[in-house]
């Protein structure tokens, strides 16, 4: 039995031992990971101490960082700079459904709707949809966008898919002569003949 008041057996640790000669932190690390890991034990931050990030005056709450920088440190591994990190206006992201959204003064808006509104010179009205002709939700070129006034059906028109397929074949240097009779085939398929 070890004497009362003995310290952790790991060199550099001044915490009192609790079990098998180790302090609680090092014992739990070894039990969970098989390694003692980092010997440094983070000390609690005194109240009123400013954040460690230069230029941030918020009070520290964890490991010497304010709440915002501590969260960044946990999530990204880096506390980052002082202040908020926001995307510039006009930059955007891709949604889970595959559309590009851009940050504007009014919040986030779909890029294809912005393109059509710019072409029309007005905001889109209720019930107006913007349809991607080739089905590619990231192709927001005006030549690929159509304004639809009612709820659009799912899918794309066969004619549009064939035109997009031919363009793809041409782009990759593949001959599409096999499809030269497509207008007759299109007519038969479009009208159920």
Q: Is the pTM of this model over 0.75?
A: no
Query: Phi and psi for 12 in degrees, rounded to 5?
Result: 95, -10
* pLDDT recorded at residue 193: 42
- Confidence category of residue 111, pLDDT binned at 50, 70, 90: very high
What is the percentage of the chain residues whose pLDDT exceeds 90? 15
* Mean pLDDT within 116-131: 90
Query: What are the DSSP E strand ranges found in the chain?
Result: 92-94, 100-104, 107-110, 129-132, 145-148
Pair type for strands 100-104 and 129-132: unpaired
* pLDDT recorded at residue 152: 59
Higher per-residue confidence, 182 vs 101? 101
Give the C-alpha separation, 26 to 14, whole Å: 11
Res. 36: pLDDT tops 90: no
* Mean pLDDT within 131-150: 89
Round the average pLDDT of the chain to a whole number and report it.
78
- Confidence category of residue 122, pLDDT binned at 50, 70, 90: very high
* Mean pLDDT within 154-176: 78
* Mean pLDDT within 145-164: 78
* pLDDT recorded at residue 89: 59
Res. 187: pLDDT tops 60: no
Q: Is 61 helix (H, G, I), strand (E, B) or coil?
A: coil
* Mean pLDDT within 45-64: 83
CB-CB contact of 124 with 116 (8 Å): yes
- Confidence category of residue 151, pLDDT binned at 50, 70, 90: low
């Amino acid at each position: 039995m070890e004497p009362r008041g003995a310290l952790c057996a790991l060199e550099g640790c001044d915490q009192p031992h609790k079990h098998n000669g180790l302090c609680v932190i090092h014992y739990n690390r070894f039990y969970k990971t098989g390694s003692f890991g980092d010997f440094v034990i983070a000390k609690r931050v005194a109240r009123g101490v400013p954040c460690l990030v230069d230029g941030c005056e918020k009070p520290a709450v964890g490991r010497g960082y304010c709440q915002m920088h501590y969260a960044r440190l946990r999530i990204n591994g880096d506390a980052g700079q002082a202040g908020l990190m926001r995307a510039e206006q006009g930059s955007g992201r891709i949604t889970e459904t595959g559309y590009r959204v851009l940050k504007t003064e009014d919040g986030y808006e779909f890029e294809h709707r912005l393109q059509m509104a710019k072409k029309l010179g007005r905001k889109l009205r209720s019930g107006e949809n913007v349809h991607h002709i080739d089905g590619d939700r990231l192709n927001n070129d005006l030549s690929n966008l159509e304004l639809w006034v009612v709820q659009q059906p799912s899918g794309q028109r066969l004619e549009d898919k064939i035109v997009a397929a031919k363009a793809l074949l041409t782009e990759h240097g593949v001959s599409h002569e096999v499809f030269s009779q497509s207008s007759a085939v299109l007519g038969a398929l479009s009208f159920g003949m």
